[in-house]
Amino acid sequence: MNDQKKDPIRSPHVWTLTTYFAEGFPYTIIRIISSVFFRDMKVSLEAIGLTSLFGLPWVIKFLWGPQVDQFSTKRRWMLLMQALLVIMTMVVAFFTPVANGVKIIAVILFISAFIAATHDIAIDGYYMEALDEKGQAKFVGYRVMGFRIAMMTGTGIIVTIGAVTNWFIGYLSAGILLLLFFLYHIFFLPAPERVKRPASEIIRTYLRLKTLLFLLSAILIILIFKWMLSMKWLGAIKSSLPFLDKISFSGWIAVGLLTALIILAILKERIKGLFLNNGESFYSRAFISFMDRKKMGMFLIFIVLMRIGEWMLTSMSSPFMVDLGLKVHYGWISGGVGLPFSILGAMLGGWMISRYTLKKVLWPFLLAQNLTNIIYMFLGIILNNYLTLNTGAETVTPLGGLNLFMVASVSGFDQFSSGLGNSVLITILMRSCLPEFKAAHFAIGTGLMNVSSVISGVISGFLAGWLGYWPFFGITFLASIPGMLMIFFIPFLDEKKEG
């Protein structure tokens, strides 16, 4: 760490930005830009809908997180994945003008999604290896900034290049940009780790019949589950239980992960005896060790409850803006006000955690995050007449400059306080990772966060439609109280890790 301070080009102020830009940029190419490209290539909306499968690797990445911990180093994993992503992006560029190249590009992007998800695991693990706990908290805002700038670069610059010139130049530009970051990382990224097991061993590990059967079984179960969710009989059930339709595929995976961890907690002694007698049980130990600590039941509840109020608010804030008659203003409010304030909140949050400790700022940060819901409630009361006039109206009644400024200010504070809350959540998740399983445990923790979105997605629309916006926003604050009360019972608040 001291050497990094002396050499500015190797400073975490720089590489935290570049690594998380390199994390966010492939995600944007695969998950967002691809939809624009396919539609521009006259692909049907039904076929474009299938690109939701590109998100699958990010949902299930916790399954192979232990391998990133066990073999080679996070830095080498990161560089290998980045090199592959550069190649894949370049290959996509050269297939854009080819007849029937769209189908080949779809296959390439699907494979690239697994590479990019593995890249994410490596970057998160590397961040925790290269920085101590104070540094991990301090640079949370840089993580957020790098990722957000990457998304803005992809959706703004690369899409514009592709649309104005052609997609060959668009994807080629994306590949060249990613190559520049890759070159910086090769030459200047610090190497804080020692190799645990040689990378060559991973090939022998995966060639074992037992490992291959396990992987094939896991993939088969996921594909069958995905197929079952699209079956007609399930559609009939969803029509009678409409809330089920609100749960995305990633949501079901998150619920499955939570269920598995609960079973693991209940039966951990029996499961430990079954798996840990095997000398090659690194994979099993990664999951068992996550739950085999004090207060982990409380920790799971906290992770699920912490963001429920925020997720409920977020799911209805956009419809609220539209029904106010602010559809034409939504873009600049979201991008021009919300984005910089969210980055500012995350950066300030990380700095304050590193300076004053997580314990001291946790309660005020979460309170600020959830007080936004009360502010939205009062905003809904004040502007209720405009909601009545503009909801579903063809001709919108203008709010006026003062009301528009008030809405933009509330949105800015919402994103700022969300940045504070996000810095807290990331810091807690990092502290929950045991040194031997940093990448795996962080992937498990981020997978659990989806459970909150499942709960909010199921009930938010129903409650907002039944009660109206301002009572709904009040309820979202009440929903956040159990998560805040859990602060008094959770582990990992001290800087010294629990082992």
Domain ranges of the chain: 2-188, 200-294, 298-489
For the 298-489 domain, the top CATH level (class) is: mainly alpha
The whole-number average pLDDT for the span 449-454 is: 76
pTM metric for this prediction: 0.81
Q: In the CATH scheme, what architecture does the domain 2-188 have?
A: Up-down Bundle (1.20)
Alpha-carbon distance of 139 to 351, in angstroms, equals 7
pLDDT of residue 26: 95
**313, 373 Cβ separation under 8 angstroms:** yes
The residue whose two tokens read 């699958």 is 56
499: CB partners within 8 A, 6+ apart: 293, 434, 435
For residue 206, is pLDDT > 70? no
Q: Give the whole-number percent of the chain exceeding pLDDT 70.
A: 83
Which of residues 5 and 214 earns the better pLDDT score?
A: 214
Closest CA to 245 of 457, 446, 36, 498: 457
> Could you give the CA distance from residue 285 to residue 5 in angstroms, rounded to a whole number?
36
* Fold match flag (2-188 vs 298-489): yes
CA atoms in the 13 A half-sphere facing the CB of 248: 15
* pLDDT (tens digit per residue) in 253-287: 777 777 777 777 776 666 666 655 554 566 677 78
Task: Give the number of residues written for the chain.
Answer: 499
CA distance 278 to 261: 21
Comparing 49 with 103, which gets the higher pLDDT? 103
In sign, the C-alpha dihedral spanning 456, 123, 421, 436 is positive
Distances (CA, A) of 490 to 293, 300, 486: 12, 9, 6
d(CA 12, CA 130): 9
**Residues 32, 154 contacting (CB under 8 angstroms):** yes
The per-residue DSSP string of 365-399 comes to: HHHHHHHHHHHHHHHHHHTHHHHHHHTT-SSPPP-
Contact of 110 with 53, CB cutoff 8 Å: yes
Position 172 scores a pLDDT of: 96
CA distance 476 to 478: 5
Q: Are 323 and 390 in contact (CB under 8 A)?
A: yes
Element (H, E) at 346: helix 339-356
